[in-house]
Every structure is written in C-alpha cells, then in structure tokens.
Amino acid sequence: MALATSDRGSWSSRTGFILAAAGSAVGLGNIWRFPYTAGENGGGAWVLIYLVFVLLIGIPVLLAELSIGRKTKLNPVGSFEALTKSKFWPWVGGLGVLTGFGILAFYAVVAGWTLAYVYEAVTGAFAGSISAEQSSAIFSNIISNPGLAILLTGLFLLLTILVVRGGVSKGIEKTTKVLMPLLVIILVILAFRSVTLPGGMAGLSYLFAPDFSKLTGTGIMTALGQALFSLSLGMGAMITYGSYFPDDANLPASGVQVAFFDTAIAVLAGIIIFPALFSAGVAPDGGAGLVFVVLPTIFGSLPAGNLFAIAFYALLAIAALTSTISLLEVCVSYFVDNRGWSREKAAWILGAVCFGLAIPSALANGASPFFSDFLGSGFDFLTIQNNLWGNFSLTIGAILICVFVGWIWGVDKALGSIESSGHSMAGKALFRILIRFVCPAAILAVLIFIVITGNFF
C-alpha cells in the first residue's frame, strides 16, 4: 500500500507545473530526434502528420495520465493500487517506473555527449572549417573513449540527482523555472539568426511546405512514435507530475499548454537546423548524426558560427537535463510513496544504481567490443536498451494506460479528475472516443509496425 510521506511535495503554482511538465517533455527527442527524423522523411508533410498525431493522440493520452495522478496524488504504482482492486494494474504502474529508469540508463549517456560538445564549442573546435571526416573523428573520439564516456554519463546523472533531491517545488520546479525560459530565449535567438542566413528560407520551405509524395507508411508510423516519445507518455512521468498538481488549478488548459510548448520547441529546433543546413548546401537527411556530425561541419561557414555552436549545444544540454530530471523523479516518487524512503535517500541510491546500469551503454559505441556488439547480436547495448525501453515498453505502457482510463477506471471518472477544480474541458465527447478507441488502436499499430518491420524509433 502507498504511504503518505512529508517528502512527497507539490508544485507551488500552475506555472511551475507547466514549466516542469514541459521540461519533462522537451528533451533530446525535440532538438536532436525531431529534426533528423523530419529530414529523413521529407520535411513538411511529415511535420504536418506529426502535428495531427500530437493533437489527436498525444494530448488525450497526456490528459489521461494527468487525470490519474491528480486523482490519487501518488506515483504510477500507488495510483493504480488506489484506483482498482486488481493485482494486474499496479504491475502496469511498475512497468512505467521501470521504463523511466531504463530510459534514464541510456538517455544519460547521450545527454553526456552534449556536455562534451559544449566543451568542444567553447574551446573553439568548431570555429573554423572542418570536414565531415574531422567532425566524425571528434564524435568517435568522444563516444569511444571509455573513461570519458563514463565520466560524462556520471556527471549528467550527478546534475540530475542534485536537482531531484531538492524536492518538487524547491528542486525540480525552481530549476525548470530558470532552465525553460533560458532554453526558449536561446531557441528564439538561434532561430532568428538561422532564418536570416543566405539561402535559409529554402530550409523553412522544406520544413513547412508539405510534399506528400515524400511521405511513406514508415514515415507515418515514425511521426506517431515521435509524438508519444516527445511528450514523455507511457512511462508514468505525467502520472507522477500530475500527482503534484495544485487542486485549484486548471488541468485541461495546463495539459494543452504543455503539449503546445513541447511541439513549439520541436518546430523551433527545426527552424534552427534546416535553414542552417540549406544555407551551407548540406542535405537535410543526415540521420541520427545530424546534430553531432553534420552540424559541426557548417558552423565555421556561418557568421559568428562558433557562438552559434556554443549556444546550440548549451541548448541541447539544458533540454536533456529537464528530461532526465523527470525520468529520475518517476522512480524516486515510487520509493518515497510506497517504500517510505526519504527523498534524499531515494535520489542518491537510485541515481547510483542507474549510473551502474548506464556504464554498459556508455561503453557501447566503440569503447568496448563486447558492448558494441552485445552477445554477437549485431546491436550495441545502448541500441538494445533504446529498443527495449524506448520502443516496446513505452508503447505497451501507453496502450495499457488508454485501456485503463477508457475501459477500467472509466472516462467519466477521468473527466471528473480533470475538471475537479471547476474548470470545464472542451470536447469531452471527442476525448471519450479518442481515449477508448482511436488512441489505443493507433498506438497498437505502432507496436505491430515495430515488431513486423524492425524499424525502431
């Protein structure tokens, strides 16, 4: 059974919740994954489909998770224990906690790379013209150096622990109130600079002018997967953050604002990257290496390019930190609520365990032959972790949350929680149809697509 503890905490304001929840959603998925995925799938048409999925799938699932957390004031496991007598559903909450922890164990590795790139930018590594081979060598030297890869991962987890141990209002909320406005300011400045580059308008056309001839079935499924991953759905993060939501605040409006904030950040990242690529005459389909390998080759050709590089990688690091905070918080909230641990104890112990589990992923990019081709599978350990937690587990969790809210707990009770402060939600009939039928079917289609095609996100 869940335990009430003084370490649980709550947001001090609706603004604090919006910034923290948006910070959870905004991360590498927006600034790293969104641009390269859009680039691989033809630009504008894919972006339009992505926006439709955020509206019709992302927002309903987001509100469903928030309704659970607000009703129970507990972590994912405690929430399902409180809302049903079934022994199955608390295991679904446990899956969310494990998913968040599993994602953190590889996400922190990639987040650590951003710190290395901030250092490289500050020391002038991207100030001059560098070739694709030189840029690739910089990236390889960072990710294949075992000591450096582990150090960067540990440093990023340490920053995460220090924030989470401070509590909900004095740690997470206070930090995100500084980081999120800073992130937006950097984004806007970089976006303005990028669109004023010679030839930059061609990049905007690529991003916003739909060409449906370039859209494939794989692109459609990828857009839906991106919408789920980007909004931190399926892993209990929004259940946890919803559990700290003020009783008198407007949850429907806040949930929509979180989704809008998250989507706007992703689009702004695209506005930064694509005009810069087109200005330098670089193809937009650079794949996962877009921000770590392709972009460094063009900074030197841009006016004030080194300042651009410093600001961009600082932005990437800030976005990653706001996400790792929420991933650790999901796990901490469980041990605070259900195990009676102090927040301090939970943050340090779970952070240390996560660091240990992250080491194989840190060594999986050339630093260790064993983890770079794990058990001869043809996959490195980090990719396996991403597939397990970021694809299968996350997607299964999102489906089960839809089923729970739509058919077990009930849409009427979810709406009662959403509107408990007296603020009515528009489109209740549509929400009922989406959360019961459309959302679980669409997310199940993504899962089937992954299993059949092996195309992971």
163-199 confidence digits (pLDDT tens): 999 999 889 999 999 999 998 898 899 888 889 888 8
Tens-of-pLDDT digits for all 457 residues of the chain? Answer: 444 455 677 898 888 899 898 888 888 888 888 888 898 888 999 999 999 999 999 999 999 999 999 999 999 999 999 999 999 999 999 999 999 999 999 999 999 999 999 999 999 998 888 888 898 899 999 999 999 999 999 999 999 999 999 999 889 999 999 999 998 898 899 888 889 888 889 999 999 999 999 899 999 999 998 888 888 899 999 999 999 988 888 999 999 999 999 999 999 999 988 898 888 888 787 666 778 888 888 888 788 888 989 998 998 999 999 999 999 999 999 999 999 999 999 999 999 999 999 999 999 999 999 999 998 888 999 999 999 998 899 999 999 999 999 999 999 999 999 999 999 999 999 999 999 999 999 999 999 999 998 776 6
Tell which CATH architecture fits domain 14-453: Up-down Bundle (1.20)
Distance in angstroms (rounded) separating the CA atoms of residues 158 and 348? 9
Tokens found for residue 37: 């995925």
Distance in angstroms (rounded) separating the CA atoms of residues 174 and 16? 8
**What single-letter amino acid sits at 309?**
A
The per-residue pLDDT for 13 is: 85
Nearest Cα neighbor of 19 from 182, 157, 162 is 182
Distance in angstroms (rounded) separating the CA atoms of residues 109 and 149? 7
The per-residue pLDDT for 282 is: 81
Residues with Cβ within 8 Å of 15's Cβ and at least 6 positions away in sequence, in order, are: 177
Nearest Cα neighbor of 127 from 313, 317, 309 is 309
Q: Give the gyration radius of the chain's Cα atoms.
A: 21
CA–CA–CA angle 306, 307, 310 (5° rounding): 85
Nearest Cα neighbor of 436 from 404, 413, 397 is 404
CA distances from 229 to 152, 234, 378 (A): 24, 8, 25
Distance in angstroms (rounded) separating the CA atoms of residues 346 and 336? 7
Q: Report the predicted TM-score, pTM, of the whole model to 2 decimal places.
A: 0.93
